């Protein structure tokens, strides 16, 4: 093996070691599961049970239980079910898929950075990307982000090679499939299909490569979008609650997320340092999109994803534009910023090395401080364990669907289907007497709610759970939950 080849493999090994170390340090400090995680487990469990891509935890405005999957694309629960079929417990399989995808993403983003610069640049950019707050946490949590990032970075590497290196028809088709599968993992990937396609089509790719790319892109995602349109009347799944905030609030939320979730702690803590740093990031993106290098592809990938997040938050009642929603943009934004810094310091290699060293050290210090601040095990893990045990004891051996504001946790604890009443602003409308009548007609005879949440479930639910005339009969309580029987 030649010297350059040996160096490349040493670099890949170094990246893999760093990624693995981040996972090992993060695993005992993370609960590993959230409400969305439990929703993925629900779908994966239904797949293992032979019921197909359905959910047995459904929103109360949906027509019945089970309900076809549509709120999320299918690839992550499919991957969980596939790993669980080998004998791995379902919850562990969900976390392992995320962890393995994190490792794959680390190697893929390094490969993309290597196409933007030399070995030193690629290692620096990769280490900075892997040190982004929350990324390693996503790698040990039952979320779909790392699988999406691995597929997206792989698609960008393949597309770049096709457009700039003439990698051929087969490589073009495989890269297209990777991007289509990314869209099958998170819906934000659908917005990147035309963006990356335009980047490829305006490169040096030949006609056959362009056609192979487009066929590869469309093959995984078009069947799912068509199926959604047939089932729900919308290509991106069922109706969602309307937004309660403004477009300006969504944009400022993205900027706030960039400050706290992207910038290193030393720059984000004070306004006087955060504002110039964000301005510099913006200028770096402007420079990147005007080039023809990898930084351009990375910048467009980041900017489009952030724009889609802002539009989604301004349109639907979903989480604030921070954390998981924006996490998928930061590694590519980091690569674009690194590319701009490299170009600015190209005539001063010593200064470039000093800046890169300081950036890596600052990132490492931030990562170590973050780990030191997280207890082992996390307190929320004990809370989750108590809630699962409490729900099992509270619900006993009953059967049939249950009305709840903790439907996914209830499903995991008892294996019973649940009709979810989400809190504001995540519901399409208020729960009414007509909804209660309809679900009682479908076999719902019980309800269980968090005692602390009952006042946030709407006026009708407040009256039904308050006790006294016209209220449901309280049966028992445990671990902060109250169980009711749906009396007339």
Per residue in 292-307, pLDDT tens? 889 999 999 999 999 9
Q: What is the pLDDT of residue 117?
A: 87
Torsion from C-alpha of 468, 470, 472, 477, nearest 10 degrees: -20
Q: Under a CB-based contact definition with an 8 Å cutoff, are residues 309 and 254 in contact?
A: yes
Q: Which of 20-24, 179-183, 266-270, 477-481 has the lowest mean pLDDT?
A: 266-270
Q: Which tens digit of pLDDT belongs to each residue from 73-121?
A: 999 999 999 999 999 999 999 999 999 999 999 999 999 999 998 899 9
Residue 1, pLDDT above cutoff 80: no
User: Is residue 444 scored above 90 in pLDDT?
Assistant: yes
Q: Is the pLDDT of residue 453 over 80?
A: no
Q: Please state, in angstroms and rounded to a whole number, the distance separating the CA atoms of residues 57 and 42.
A: 7
Question: Could you identify the residue written with the tokens 């009969």?
Answer: 473
Buried b (16+ CB within 10 A) or exposed e, 261-295: bbbbeebbeeeeebeebbeebeebbebbeebebbb
| 158-186 b/e (C-beta count within 10 Å ≥ 16 → b) | bbbbbbbeebbbebbbbbbbbbbbbbbbb
Per-residue pLDDT band for 34 (boundaries 50, 70, 90) equals very high
User: Please, what is the angle between helix 90-114 and helix 145-165, to 10°?
Assistant: 30
Per the model's pLDDT, the better-predicted residue between 362 and 185 turns out to be: 185
Comparing 455 with 358, which gets the higher pLDDT?
358
pLDDT of residue 176: 95
3-state secondary structure of 236: coil
Average pLDDT on 154-173 reads 91
Q: What is the pLDDT of residues 462-477, one digit of tens each?
A: 888 877 777 888 888 8
User: Could you tell me which residue, 402 or 316, shows the higher pLDDT?
Assistant: 402
Checking if the pLDDT of 7 tops 80, the result is no
Give the confidence band of 3 by pLDDT, cuts at 50, 70, 90.
low
E-strand stretches of 268-426: 402-404, 418-420
Contact in structure between 92 and 98 (CB atoms under 8 Å): no
Tokens of 451: 């005692």
**63 burial via Cβ count (<10 Å: 0-12, 13-18, 19+):** exposed
Give the tokens for residue 164.
């700039």
Q: Averaged over 30-56, what is the pLDDT?
A: 95
Q: Is residue 290 pLDDT above 90, yes or no?
A: no
| Percentage of the chain modeled with pLDDT above 70 | 98
Q: In this structure, what are the phi and psi dihedrals at residue 419, rounded to the nearest 5 degrees?
A: -105, 115
pLDDT at 18: 97
Percent of the chain with pLDDT over 90: 59
Provide CB contacts within 8 A for 271, sequence distance 6+.
none
Burial of 220 (0-12, 13-18, 19+ CB in 10 A): buried
- In this prediction, residues 126-131 reach a mean pLDDT of 95
Which of 103-107, 246-250, 419-423, 474-478 has the highest average model confidence (pLDDT)? 103-107
Q: Give the position of tokens 């790392």.
A: 146
216: which 2 tokens? Answer: 């590869």
Question: Is the pTM for the entire model greater than 0.85?
Answer: yes
**Other C-beta atoms lying within 10 Å of the C-beta of residue 322:** 19
pLDDT exceeds cutoff 70 at 446: yes
User: What is residue 4's predicted lDDT score, i.e. its pLDDT?
Assistant: 67
243 versus 54: the higher-pLDDT residue is 54
Enter the tokens of residue 315: 């349109």
Statement: residue 254 has pLDDT above 80: yes
Q: What contacts 278, CB < 8 A, 6 or more positions away? A: 255, 258, 259, 263
Tokens of residue 6, six digits? 């040996």
Mean pLDDT of the chain: 90
Which one has a higher pLDDT value, 344 or 115? 115
pLDDT at 5: 65
Q: Poorest-confidence range of 45-54, 176-185, 340-349, 406-415?
A: 340-349
CA distance 106 to 101: 9
pLDDT higher than 90, residue 313? no
Query: With the CA atoms of 59, 65, 66 and 72 taken in that order, what torsion angle do they form, in degrees rounded to the nearest 10?
Result: -10
Q: Does residue 54 sit in helix, strand or coil?
A: strand
Task: Categorize the per-residue pLDDT at 423 as very low, low, confident or very high, splitting at 50, 70 and 90.
Answer: confident
Name residue, tokens 């990562």: 367
pLDDT value at residue 94: 98
């Amino acid at each position: 093996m030649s010297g350059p080849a040996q160096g490349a493999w040493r670099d890949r090994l170094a990246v893999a070691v760093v990624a693995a170390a981040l996972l090992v340090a993060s695993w005992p400090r993370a609960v590993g599961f959230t409400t969305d995680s439990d929703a993925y487990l629900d779908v994966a469990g239904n797949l293992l049970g032979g019921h197909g891509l359905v959910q047995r935890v459904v929103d109360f405005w949906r027509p019945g239980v089970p309900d076809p999957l549509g709120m999320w694309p299918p690839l992550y629960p499919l991957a969980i079910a596939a790993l669980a079929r080998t004998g791995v417990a379902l919850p562990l399989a969900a976390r392992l898929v995320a962890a393995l995808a994190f490792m794959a993403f680390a190697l893929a983003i390094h490969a993309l950075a290597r196409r933007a610069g030399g070995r030193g640049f690629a290692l620096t950019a990769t280490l900075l990307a892997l040190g982004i707050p929350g990324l390693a946490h996503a790698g040990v949590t039952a979320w779909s982000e790392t699988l999406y990032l691995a597929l997206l970075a792989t698609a960008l590497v393949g597309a770049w090679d096709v457009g700039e290196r003439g990698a051929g028809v087969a490589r073009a088709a495989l890269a297209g499939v990777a991007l289509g599968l990314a869209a099958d993992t998170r819906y934000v990937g659908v917005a990147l299909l035309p963006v990356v396609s335009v980047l490829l089509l305006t490169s040096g790719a030949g006609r056959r490569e362009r056609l192979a790319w487009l066929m590869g892109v469309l093959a995984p995602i078009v069947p799912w979008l068509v199926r959604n349109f047939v089932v729900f009347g919308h290509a991106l799944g069922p109706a969602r609650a309307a937004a309660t905030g403004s477009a300006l609030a969504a944009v400022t939320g993205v900027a706030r997320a960039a400050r706290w979730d992207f910038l290193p702690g030393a720059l984000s803590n004070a306004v006087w340092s955060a504002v110039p740093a964000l301005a510099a990031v913006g200028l770096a993106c402007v420079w990147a999109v005007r080039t023809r290098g990898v930084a351009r592809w990375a910048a467009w990938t980041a900017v489009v994803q952030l724009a889609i997040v802002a539009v989604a938050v301004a349109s639907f009642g979903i989480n604030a534009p921070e954390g998981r929603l924006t996490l998928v943009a930061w590694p590519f934004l980091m690569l674009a910023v690194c590319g701009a810094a490299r170009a600015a310091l190209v005539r001063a290699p010593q200064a470039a090395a000093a800046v890169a060293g300081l950036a890596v050290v600052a990132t490492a210090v931030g990562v170590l401080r973050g780990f030191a601040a997280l207890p082992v095990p996390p307190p929320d893990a004990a809370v989750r364990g108590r809630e699962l045990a409490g729900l099992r004891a509270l619900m006993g051996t009953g059967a049939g669907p249950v009305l709840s504001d903790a439907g996914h946790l209830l499903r995991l604890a008892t294996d019973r289907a649940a009709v979810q009443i989400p809190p504001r602003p995540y519901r399409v409308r208020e729960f009414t007497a007509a909804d209660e009548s309809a679900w009682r007609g479908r076999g719902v005879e019980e309800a269980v709610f968090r005692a602390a949440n009952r006042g946030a479930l709407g006026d009708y639910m407040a009256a039904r759970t308050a006790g006294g005339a016209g209220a449901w009969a309280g049966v028992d309580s445990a671990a902060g939950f109250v169980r009711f029987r749906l009396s007339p």
